[in-house]
């Protein structure tokens, strides 16, 4: 009998892992994703990338606004999953949800945990100037990315990498690691390793206001921020009182001649 899996994810990063599970023949009995959100200038309700993919594959979709109430937890339990697989779902799962599957809940996280726990690990790696990052498959607990590690895989961070390009690469890397790890976990051939909390760093959620350029920061940090905030929220400043988006920049070791930060000198 195929392993019954509930998949939980929302953005583009999640789709590769869901596609890999479907491609490997696992029985995805339900897909849980965030509710449709207003998007674009018209603020029309828009389905998440995971919901759109699930619809194409004919998979059952659930979109609870919260998992802190009995009804959505009961709906998940009725699906009788062997496992939960989570990839960038967007909410911390309560213990009542983690207790449902018989073989535990696995998370695909876009960093080498315990580095960059939290909501924005890809942007955090670029902001920190890392030349390497990776993906982690971990056994979930009720904390924020604090569960034991099952497997990890590294990749380089290119000098001009943006959050958009790096997320796409990590998405594929995570999907491959998931399908490599999952059968070993089900066969009892993977020993979970506890994280070292004293080595933990954090990746807080990015806010729209973070994209506003502060010209008093060092040039190399500003260049990393432009890349880290691409495609969202984007980096911007003002020119003649109008917003100006910064799409690609390069830090230069050029004397400013005493000019105030943010002044155009050439």
pLDDT tens, the chain, 266 aa long: 689 999 999 999 999 999 999 999 999 999 999 999 988 777 889 999 999 999 999 999 999 999 999 999 999 999 999 999 999 999 999 999 999 999 999 999 999 999 999 999 999 999 999 999 999 999 999 999 999 999 999 999 999 999 999 999 999 999 999 999 999 999 999 999 999 999 999 999 999 999 999 999 999 999 999 999 999 999 999 999 999 999 999 998 887 778 888 888 87
Q: Report the pLDDT value the prediction gives residue 266, as an integer from 0 to 100.
A: 79
Q: CB–CB of 112/157 below 8 Å? A: no
Q: Report the pLDDT value the prediction gives residue 42, as an integer from 0 to 100.
A: 78
Return the CATH fold of 207-266: 3.10.25
Q: Are strands 235-239 and 242-246 parallel, antiparallel or unpaired?
A: antiparallel
Q: Report the pLDDT value the prediction gives residue 43, as an integer from 0 to 100.
A: 82
- Rounded to whole angstroms, the Cα distance separating 188 from 170 reads 26
Please list the residue range(s) of the chain that carry CATH number 3.10.25.10: 207-266
Residue ranges in the chain assigned as alpha helix (H): 12-23, 49-57, 70-77, 95-98, 121-127, 163-186, 219-228
CA distances for 137 relative to 30, 142, 255, angstroms: 20, 16, 46
DSSP, res 179:
H
Q: What are the backbone angles phi and psi of residue 260, rounded to the nearest 5°? A: -70, 140
10 Å Cβ neighbour count for 165? Answer: 16
What is the three-class DSSP state of 138? strand
Q: Report the pLDDT value the prediction gives residue 186, as an integer from 0 to 100.
A: 96
Please list the residue range(s) of the chain that carry CATH number 3.40.50.170: 4-203
Q: Report the pLDDT value the prediction gives residue 1, as an integer from 0 to 100.
A: 64
Q: Are strands 105-109 and 132-139 parallel, antiparallel or unpaired?
A: antiparallel
Instruction: CATH number for 4-203: choose from 3.50.50.60, 3.30.70.580, 3.40.50.170, 3.40.190.10.
Output: 3.40.50.170
Sign of CA dihedral 75, 79, 81, 84: negative
Q: Report the pLDDT value the prediction gives residue 214, as an integer from 0 to 100.
A: 96
pTM (two decimals): 0.95
Distance separating the N- and C-terminal Cα atoms of the chain = 68
């Amino acid at each position: 009998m195929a392993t019954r899996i509930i998949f939980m994810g929302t953005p583009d990063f999640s789709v590769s892992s869901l596609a890999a599970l479907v491609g490997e023949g696992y029985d995805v009995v339900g897909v849980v994703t965030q509710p449709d959100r207003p998007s674009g200038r018209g603020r029309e309700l828009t389905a998440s990338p995971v919901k759109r993919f699930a619809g194409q594959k004919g998979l059952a979709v659930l979109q609870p606004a919260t998992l802190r109430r009995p009804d959505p937890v009961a709906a998940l339990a009725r699906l009788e999953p062997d496992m939960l697989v989570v990839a960038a779902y967007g909410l911390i799962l309560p213990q009542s949800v983690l207790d449902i599957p018989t073989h535990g809940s696995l998370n695909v996280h876009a960093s080498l945990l315990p580095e960059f726990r939290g909501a924005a690990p890809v942007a955090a790696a670029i902001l920190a100037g890392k030349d390497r990052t990776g993906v982690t498959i971990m056994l979930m607990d009720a904390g924020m990315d604090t569960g034991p590690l099952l497997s990890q895989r590294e990749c380089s961070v290119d000098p001009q990498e943006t959050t958009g390009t790096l997320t796409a690469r990590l998405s594929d890397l995570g999907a491959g690691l998931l399908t490599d790890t999952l059968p070993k976990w089900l066969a009892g051939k993977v020993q979970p390793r506890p994280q070292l909390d004293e080595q933990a760093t954090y990746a807080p959620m990015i806010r729209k206001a973070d994209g506003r350029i502060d010209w008093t920061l060092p040039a190399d940090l500003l260049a990393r921020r432009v890349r880290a905030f691409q495609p969202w929220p984007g980096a911007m400043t003002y020119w003649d009182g109008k917003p100006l988006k910064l799409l690609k920049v390069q830090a230069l070791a050029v004397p400013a001649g005493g000019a105030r930060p943010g002044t155009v000198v050439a």
